[in-house]
Amino acid sequence: MKLFGTDGIRGTINQYPMIPELCMKVGMSLCFILKQRISHKPKILIGKDTRISGYMIESALTAGITSMGGDVYLVGPIPTPAIAFLVKSMRQDAGMVISASHNPFPDNGIKIFSNDGFKVSEDIENTIEKFLNEPDFPQSRPQAKALGKAFRIEDAVGRYIEFVKSTLPKNFTFEGLKVVIDPANGAAYKITPTLFRELGAEVITINDKPDGLNINRECGALYPQELIKKVIETQANLGIAHDGDADRTILIDEKGNIIDGDIILSIWATELKKQKKLKKNTVVATVMTNSGVENYLKTQGIKLIRTQVGDRYVVEEMLKGGYNLGGEQSGHIVCLDYSCTGDGAITAVQVAYIMMKNGKFLSELTKEISRYPQLLKNIRIPERISKEEAIKKLEDLNFKISKLQQEIKGRILIRPSGTEPKIRIMVEEEDPGRANKILEELEELVKQKLY
User: 10 Å Cβ neighbour count for 90?
Assistant: 17
Please, are residues 147 and 62 in contact by the beta-carbon 8 Å criterion? no
**Distance between CA atoms of 142 and 161, rounded to whole angstroms?**
38
SS3 185: coil
Nearest to 54 by CA among 64, 63, 46: 46
Query: CB 232: neighbour CB atoms within 10 A?
Result: 15
The active-site residue out of 29, 53, 101, 417 is 101
Q: Is the dihedral of CA 382, 385, 389, 393 positive or negative?
A: negative
Residues in the chain: 451
What is the C-alpha to C-alpha distance for residues 342 and 406, in angstroms, rounded to an integer? 35
CA distances (Å), origin 181, targets 167, 201, 206, 219, 348: 20, 11, 6, 11, 10
What is the DSSP secondary structure assignment for residue 282, as one 8-state letter? E
Give the H/E segment covering residue 293: helix 291-299
Strand partners, 306: 285
The yes-or-no answer on residue 101 being catalytic is yes
* CA distances from residue 19 to 98, 107, 108, 110, 138 in whole angstroms, order as listed: 13, 11, 10, 12, 19
DSSP 378-420: EEEPPTTS-HHHHHHHGGGGHHHHHHHHHTSSSEEEEEE-SSS
In angstroms and rounded to an integer, the radius of gyration of the C-alpha atoms of the chain is 22
What's the rounded Cα separation, in Å, for the pair 14 and 408?
A: 45
Sheet with 303-307: list strands edge to edge.
303-307, 282-286, 325-327, 333-335
Cite the DSSP H helix spans in 54-137.
Answer: 54-67, 80-89, 122-132
The closest alpha carbon to 309, from 429, 425, 394, 437, belongs to 425
Q: Dihedral angle at the C-alpha atoms of 27, 29, 33, 38, nearest 10 degrees?
A: 30
**Strand-pair category, 4-5 with 8-12:** antiparallel
* Residues classed as catalytic: 101
